[in-house]
Amino acid sequence: MNAQCIMVLGTTSGAGKSWLATALCRSYARQGLKVAPFKAQNMSNNARVVASEGGQGEIGSAQYFQALAARALPGVRMNPLLLKPEADTHSQVVLLGQVNAELTAMPWRERSNHVWPHIVAALDELRAENDVVVIEGAGSPAEINLHASDIVNMRVALHCNAACLLITDIDRGGAFAHLYGTWALLPANERALIKGFVLNKFRGDVKLLAPAPQMLQELTQIPTVAVLPMWWQHGLPEEDGVFDERSSASGTVKLTVAVIVYPRISNLDEFQPLKNIPGVRLMWVRSPAELAGLSPSDWLILPGSKSTSADLAWLRAQGLAAAVARHAGQGGAVLGICAGLQMLGEALIDPYGVAGNAPGLGLLPLVTVFEQDKIVCRTQSAFAFSIAAPALLDSDWVHGEVDVANPWAALAGVTVTGYEIHQGVTRQHPAMAQAGDVARAVLPDGLGWQNAAGNVLGIYLHGLFEDPAALQALFGSSLNGAVPTLEAVFERMADFVEAHFEPGTLTALLAQDLTQNQAIANAVYP
């Protein structure tokens, strides 16, 4: 096991673990080291499709981006256990990229012993193949009610002798109490693995922190190794459903894109590029009142969901279903992605108890049948030329500008690359089709459909707004290089942490002489 393991722990969820781990992956990778990310267990409905043994599987989006930052090929070993919440008390369990029905049905605390051997095997393989493994923890390592069944924080750290950083969000307040309390609740052998504290999202003069860092070091013998300033526009998609809810736009607002946030929203990270396009205001919507100012020229998006039927019922209960219908009826642009496509149809039919039967919104004459097997794959496909409505002007086509009446027309003929994660097949409603009410197939193999008017589009393909060709088609000259590439984002993040960590800290973490071993881990976590 040659790799040195660097682990990022947090005092809370949302403290900045994913962000810092991603930045460290790029920082170490550009030193010429072979780097891989790892997170033993991730709970998130933000997932990406990656290579797995014998095919393709799912991992959390954070580890996908960390792998790209590390200049590594994303794979299922980097996040061996993914929990996808379907309700407040139930999650679908994905083990090494594949849904595992047995683990899904198993009580939560009983899973630990079953999944730990898979976690250890995945981590040890990555350690054997790399110089550095950057590990992300989950939540807080000091949740004493969960300590005995821990498979993602200190048990992992002990197993691989990780040099650990503990990060906290100082913008929330109570940062020093969070750091000290977390440290104090850990057993002594686990405290010994923590090599530095990191204050994240700091605003103001760093000198005002004194004498707190020094006092904390006197109490714990652990230095504060970095104070990271608040950075709103770093460009990395947020993790675990935590996103910036502020409606924002650079320059004069020309287009509002309203994304409906249902309780089980998934893959919201694919909308990150829209935050950077000049004149575009991205807003997150939970009530009809928030749509009051939406004009027919604005876009309304129904995103992915981990529980389609339940979130569709929520839409109706909130009055949002009627608001979506009104917007579409006024000629407003509506886009449904994955579960959003399913909701736009006439009916959801569930013969296997996957999500539940439900009537759809009736904006596309389609029927979705849920199937037992999940479709998980990377996909490249071209939009049919028929997506272009007759109202589209030649000048609009040539200059790639948005056609207000039918913005989706600009996608005609564009080849896009994305990914599919869904457990349903969508087809024309047979009775409605026989009567002449049909949806136009705009992507092959049932991947995309459009209504006759052209303003309502439903696609199974995630990643539309991450595809450069699609962005160019939809926004044309207004882009002007405003959307940074992921490579540029990773480089800026690495520059940022290297500038704000104490000199020599990141290199010193690689040279830690840690004495914890597997025997200690087995004693603490029998």
Domain ranges across the chain: 4-235+488-524, 255-478
Topology adopted by domain 255-478:
Rossmann fold (3.40.50)
pLDDT of 195 over the 90 cut: yes
With CA atoms as reference, report the closest residue to 397 among 412, 415, 383, 386: 412
- Selecting among 159, 338, 422, 500, the annotated active-site residue is 338
- Selecting among 422, 429, 462, 500, the annotated active-site residue is 462
Note the pLDDT of residue 300: 97
Q: How far apart are CA 172 and CA 10, in angstroms?
A: 13
Helix (H) or strand (E) holding 81: strand 81-87
pLDDT of 391 over the 60 cut: no
Note the pLDDT of residue 401: 41
**Nearest-5° Cα angle at 30, 29 to 36:** 5
Note the pLDDT of residue 513: 63
C-alpha distances (whole Å) from 5 to each of 21, 148, 152, 206 are 12, 22, 14, 30
pTM score: 0.88
Q: What is the pLDDT of residues 370-379, one digit of tens each?
A: 998 999 999 9
**pLDDT band for position 234 (50/70/90)?**
confident
Least reliable range by pLDDT among 45-59, 68-82, 402-416 = 402-416
* Average pLDDT taken over every residue of the chain: 89
Least reliable range by pLDDT among 29-38, 386-395, 452-461 = 386-395
What backbone phi and psi angles, to 5 degrees, belong to 212? Answer: -60, -45
CATH code of the domain occupying 4-235+488-524: 3.40.50.300
Region for 130 from its dihedrals, namely left if φ exceeds 0, alpha if ψ lies in -120 to 50, beta otherwise: beta
What are 476-484's contacts with CB under 8 Å, separation 24+? 476/399, 476/400, 476/401, 476/402, 476/410, 477/399, 477/400, 477/401, 478/254, 478/277, 478/278, 478/279, 479/277, 480/278, 482/250, 482/276, 482/277, 482/278, 483/273, 483/276, 483/277, 484/235, 484/276
Q: How far apart are CA 127 and CA 156, in angstroms?
A: 13
Helix (H) or strand (E) holding 5: strand 4-10
Q: Are 441 and 449 in contact (CB under 8 A)?
A: yes
Helices (H) and strands (E) in the chain, counts: 17, 25
**pLDDT band for position 171 (50/70/90)?**
very high
Stretch 16-34: mean pLDDT, rounded?
96
pLDDT of 385 over the 70 cut: yes
Note the pLDDT of residue 302: 98
**pLDDT band for position 29 (50/70/90)?**
very high
Q: How many percent of the chain have pLDDT more than 90?
A: 71
Note the pLDDT of residue 250: 64
338 included as an active-site residue:
yes
C-alpha distances (whole Å) from 463 to each of 417, 456, 459, 460 are 7, 18, 10, 10
**pLDDT band for position 395 (50/70/90)?**
very low
120 or 372, greater pLDDT = 120
pLDDT of 83 over the 80 cut: yes
**pLDDT band for position 52 (50/70/90)?**
confident
pLDDT of 400 over the 60 cut: no
Q: Residue 279 burial by CB count (10 A; 0-12/13-18/19+): exposed, middle or buried?
A: middle
Amino acid (one-letter) located at 365: P
pLDDT of 355 over the 50 cut: yes
178 included as an active-site residue:
no
Identify whether 211 is preceded by a cis peptide bond (ω within 30 of 0): yes
Non-local CB neighbours of 169 within 8 Å, separated by 6+ positions: 11, 12, 14, 15, 16, 175, 200, 201
Q: Are 134 and 28 in contact (CB under 8 A)?
A: yes
**pLDDT band for position 240 (50/70/90)?**
low
Residue 17 in tokens: 């673990």
Terminal alpha carbon distance of the chain: 22
Q: Are 460 and 473 in contact (CB under 8 A)?
A: no
R_g over Cα of the chain: 24
Per residue, the 3-state secondary structure of 461-495, as one string, reads CECHHHCHHHHHHHHHHHCCCCCCCHHHHHHHHHH
pLDDT of 450 over the 90 cut: yes
Stretch 201-226: mean pLDDT, rounded?
95
**pLDDT band for position 526 (50/70/90)?**
very low
**pLDDT band for position 396 (50/70/90)?**
very low
Pairing of the two strands 132-136 and 35-38: parallel
447 or 407, greater pLDDT = 447
Stretch 293-300: mean pLDDT, rounded?
91
DSSP E strands: which ranges in 237-332?
255-260, 265-266, 280-285, 299-302, 304-305
Q: What is the pLDDT of residues 477-525, one digit of tens each?
A: 667 777 788 999 999 999 999 999 999 999 999 987 654 444 444 444 5
